């Protein structure tokens, strides 16, 4: 067989019947954690070159954010020059309307048609999520309410290091548009895959986005959070990015809202004897090629596990990003053999993955046993790539186990809920005794007095 002559893959194997699964998974997750205290030797040298000393990523982010907050556009442009090797001015940091229109005019018609179809898919799904305002009538004739108001201004982070991501523009901008956000700000690094990428600019123009800036990393997050000359502050910052973007979003949270502190992409795939191993191999590759990206297979069928491993070994070096994919599988991948389907579900729920792909013949049954997942993909014909690019839910999802409590980005994130209390005199008198009693218990005499003066 072909896999016997291919280079073996040193991927972690866990036998849940004998191994300490929790410990092994904790060790795997620690490698992908955005804690900010681990840096490569190359990164360390770069940090010393820019900052003069070996700062941790956390310290780097704090320094950049504070400099941008205090010094404004000068610090933003200085860090862009030092970290991205791009010499910009206050006049050139923003992509001009002419550049956006030119990129759109030169774009392949088929690409624009694809963008429109995907936009419509996302808009249909995200609009369906929007809540209606609530009104509850009170006995005396007044009413209570909850209204949902869109945020005015949203900042969208779009990566641009190893590849261009028009899909991220779609998956962040369209949910915001569904919610009614008026002003969208896209930041992408000044690279051929970022704000200098014609397809990305064409996508922005097609969606009606007019504010696009050639900035990335922590300095872009800080500029949107605090505002600098020429860039007004936003209300929320969303979208994926590298470790420095994640840590910067964490740093500015409270100044603005954020969607999440995302780490590397991940998938947990549950397979049985009906799951095609060639499908499974490609699904594992699809996350690993992000590099870093975590790809974990869970199955109670040993033959399915072995068949998938053989397919992975046979195919990995044929991929365009084969070296990076192999490295990610060996560093962050795992093949887990369980006693049965129930144990597979327990382990998957313990991982709380960003992407959960249940590629079994009873996927609808199993998904109910795994509530902790950013997005669930059911069946052999629901690969994660459908959600990444076209289906409708956003591909900005919680990672690193945060799906235990966090949700993926949606139109709901761009709304602010506010309550309304409209009591008449009778409603106020009905509520007064309870207010007076609790105010007395808490010793807040003015609270009670504001009711006393009205009831006489």
Measured between alpha carbons, how far is 96 from 91 in angstroms, rounded to an integer? 9
Q: What is the predicted pLDDT for the residue at 267?
A: 93
Which part of the chain has CATH 3.40.50.1980? 2-33+263-391, 97-260
Q: Report H helices in 159-237.
A: 166-179, 198-206, 217-226
On whether the CB atoms of residues 264 and 32 are closer than 8 A, the answer is yes
Counting DSSP H helices and E strands in the chain, the numbers are: 19, 14
Catalytic residue among 205, 355, 357, 395: 355
Measured between alpha carbons, how far is 261 from 278 in angstroms, rounded to an integer? 33
Q: What is the predicted pLDDT for the residue at 419?
A: 96
Longest CA–CA span in the chain (Å) reads 92
The correct CATH number of 97-260 out of 3.30.70.260, 3.40.50.1980, 3.90.1150.10, 3.40.50.10860 is 3.40.50.1980
Length of the chain: 456
Q: What is the predicted pLDDT for the residue at 69?
A: 98
- 26 membership: H or E segment, kind and range: helix 21-32
On whether the CB atoms of residues 269 and 299 are closer than 8 A, the answer is no
Q: What is the predicted pLDDT for the residue at 3?
A: 41
Q: What is the predicted pLDDT for the residue at 394?
A: 94
What is the residue-level pLDDT of the chain in tens, covering all 456 positions?
Answer: 344 457 888 888 988 888 788 888 787 777 666 555 556 677 778 888 889 888 989 999 999 999 999 999 999 999 999 999 999 999 999 999 999 999 999 999 999 999 999 999 999 999 999 999 999 999 999 999 999 999 999 999 999 987 889 999 999 999 999 999 999 999 999 999 999 999 999 999 999 999 999 999 999 999 999 999 999 999 999 999 888 999 999 999 999 999 988 878 899 999 999 999 999 999 999 988 887 888 999 999 999 999 999 999 989 888 888 888 898 898 888 999 999 999 999 999 999 999 999 999 999 999 999 999 999 999 999 999 999 999 999 999 998 888 999 999 999 999 999 999 999 999 999 999 999 999 999 999 999 999 999 998
Residue 233 tokens, joined: 């502050």
Buried b (16+ CB within 10 A) or exposed e, 212-239: bbbbbbbbbbbbbbbbbeebebbbbbbb
CATH architecture observed for domain 2-33+263-391: 3-Layer(aba) Sandwich (3.40)
Q: Is 365 a catalytic residue?
A: no
Q: What is the predicted pLDDT for the residue at 4?
A: 45
Cross-strand pairs, 212: 186
Per DSSP, the three-state class of 65 is helix
Q: What is the predicted pLDDT for the residue at 163?
A: 82
Cross-strand pairs, 298: 270, 336
Q: What is the predicted pLDDT for the residue at 1?
A: 37
Catalytic residue among 354, 357, 395, 425: 354
Q: What is the predicted pLDDT for the residue at 277?
A: 94
Q: What is the predicted pLDDT for the residue at 33?
A: 63
Measured between alpha carbons, how far is 456 from 444 in angstroms, rounded to an integer? 19
Q: Is 354 a catalytic residue?
A: yes
């Amino acid at each position: 067989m072909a896999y016997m002559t291919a280079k073996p893959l040193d991927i972690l194997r866990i036998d849940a019947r004998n191994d300490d699964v929790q410990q092994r998974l904790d060790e795997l997750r620690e490698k992908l954690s955005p804690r900010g205290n681990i840096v490569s030797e190359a990164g360390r040298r770069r940090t010393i070159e820019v900052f003069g000393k070996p700062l941790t990523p956390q310290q780097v982010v704090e320094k950049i954010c504070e400099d941008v907050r205090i010094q404004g556009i000068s610090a933003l442009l200085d860090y862009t020059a030092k970290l991205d090797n791009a010499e910009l001015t206050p006049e050139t940091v923003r992509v001009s309307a002419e550049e956006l229109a030119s990129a759109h005019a030169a774009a392949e018609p088929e690409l624009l048609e694809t963008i429109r179809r995907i936009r419509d898919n996302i808009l249909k799904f995200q609009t369906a999520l929007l809540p209606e305002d609530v009104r509850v009538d009170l006995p005396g004739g007044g009413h209570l309410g909850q209204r949902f108001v869109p945020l005015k201004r949203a900042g969208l982070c779009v990566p641009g290091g190893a590849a261009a991501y028009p899909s991220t523009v779609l998956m962040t901008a369209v949910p915001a548009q569904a919610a009614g956000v008026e002003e969208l700000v896209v930041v992408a690094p000044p690279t051929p895959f970022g704000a200098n990428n014609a397809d990305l600019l064409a996508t922005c123009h097609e969606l009606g986005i007019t504010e696009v800036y050639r900035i990335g990393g922590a300095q872009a997050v800080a500029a949107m959070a605090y505002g600098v000359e020429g860039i007004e502050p936003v209300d929320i910052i969303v979208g994926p990015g590298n470790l420095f973007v994640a840590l910067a979003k964490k740093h500015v949270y409270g100044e603005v809202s954020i969607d999440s502190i995302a780490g590397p992409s991940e998938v947990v795939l549950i397979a049985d004897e009906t799951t095609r191993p060639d499908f499974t191999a490609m699904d594992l590759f699809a996350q690993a090629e992000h590099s870093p990206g975590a790809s974990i297979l869970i199955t109670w069928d040993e033959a399915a596990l072995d068949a998938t491993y053989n397919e992975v070994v046979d195919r990995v070096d044929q991929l365009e990003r084969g070296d990076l994919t192999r490295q990610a599988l060996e560093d962050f991948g795992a093949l887990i053999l369980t006693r049965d389907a129930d144990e597979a579900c327990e382990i998957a729920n313990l991982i709380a993955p960003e992407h959960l792909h249940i590629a079994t013949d009873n996927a609808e049954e199993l998904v109910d046993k795994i509530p902790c997942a950013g997005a669930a993909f059911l069946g052999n014909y629901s690969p994660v790539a459908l959600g990444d690019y076209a289906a409708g839910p956003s591909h900005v999802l919680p990672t690193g186990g945060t799906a235990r409590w966090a949700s993926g980005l949606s139109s709901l994130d761009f709304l602010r809920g506010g309550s309304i209390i409209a009591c008449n005199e009778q409603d106020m008198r009905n509520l007064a005794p309870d207010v007076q009693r609790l105010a007395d218990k808490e010793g807040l005499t003015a609270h009670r007095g504001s009711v006393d003066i009205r009831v006489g």
